[in-house]
Amino acid sequence: MTATTTTTATPAISRMSDPGQYIPELKDVSAALFRATGNQSVPRSTINLIHLRAGQIVHNTYLTMLNTAFLRKAGVSETRITAVASWQDAPYFTDAERAALALVEATFQPAPHGRERVTDEIYAEAAKHYDEKALATLTVAIGQIGFFSALALIGKPKPVESLADEQWD
C-alpha cells in the first residue's frame, strides 16, 4: 500500500491592508516614479531586469513574480529571466544591462567592511553605457525599487503578475 500526500497551497495573506487606503498620496508617488523611469532613456526591459534582481536580493516573492511577469509580457526570454540571478557569468546580457545590474547589486548588497558599495569602477562602467539622463533614470529606478521593497517586505502583499491584480487582503 502506498501512502499519498496531498499538498495544497495556502493563499498568501498580506500582513497589512492596502497602505494606499490610508495614504492616498501613495498613488501619486507611485505614478510619478513610473513616469520618471519611463522617460525612454533606459529601456523598460532593463529597468525590469534590475527590479527583478533587487527582488531576488531582498528575497521578496511579490517583487520577483511581478517583475518576471513584466519581462515575460515584454517578450524577454525565459533564459534571460532565469539568468538574472546569476547574471555575472551568464552570456545573455548586453554590456549596458550588466552595468545596470552591477549598479543595483552594489546598491542592495552589503559592501565588504570599510568599502563603499557603489565603487568608482562600477559607476564608471555604467557611465560608459549610459548618458547623464540615463544614469539619473537608473538611479531613480533603483530608488523606486527600494521604495517598493520596503512596502513589499513589511506589508507582504500577495504575489501577483499584474498591477491590476488585487495585491492586498
Contacts of 158 (CB under 8 A, 6+ apart): 11, 12, 13, 14, 62, 165, 166, 167, 168, 169
**Residue spans per domain, the chain:** 23-155
pTM score > 0.85 for this model? yes
Under CATH, to which class is 23-155 assigned?
Answer: mainly alpha
Q: Give the tens place of pLDDT for each residue, 45-91.
A: 999 999 999 999 999 999 999 999 999 999 999 999 999 999 999 99
- C-alpha cell of residue 37: 523611469
Contacts of 90 (CB under 8 A, 6+ apart): 83
C-beta atoms surrounding 54 within 10 Å: 25
